[in-house]
Amino acid sequence: MSYNPYSLEGKTILVTGASSGIGKATAIECSKLGARVVITGRDETRLCDTYSLLQGENHIQSVADLGKDGDVSRLINELPVLDGIAHIAGIVKTIPVTFLKKEDMQQLFDVNFFAPTLLTTCLLRQKKVRKLSSIVFISSIEGPITVHPGNSVYSASKSAVIGMMKGLSVELASKKIRVNAVLPGMTDTPIIYGSEFTEEQLLSTKNQYPLKRAASPEEIAWAIIYFLSDASGFTTGASLVVDGGFTVFYAI
Which positions are annotated as active-site residues? 154
Are the beta carbons of 19 and 189 closer than 8 angstroms? no
| Nearest C-alpha neighbor of 113 from the set 165, 174, 161 | 161
- Could you tell me which residues come within 8 angstroms of residue 6 by beta carbon, excluding any fewer than 6 positions away? 33, 225, 226, 229, 231
Are the beta carbons of 237 and 166 closer than 8 angstroms? yes
CA distance 243 to 184: 5
Give the residues across from 62 on adjacent strands: 40
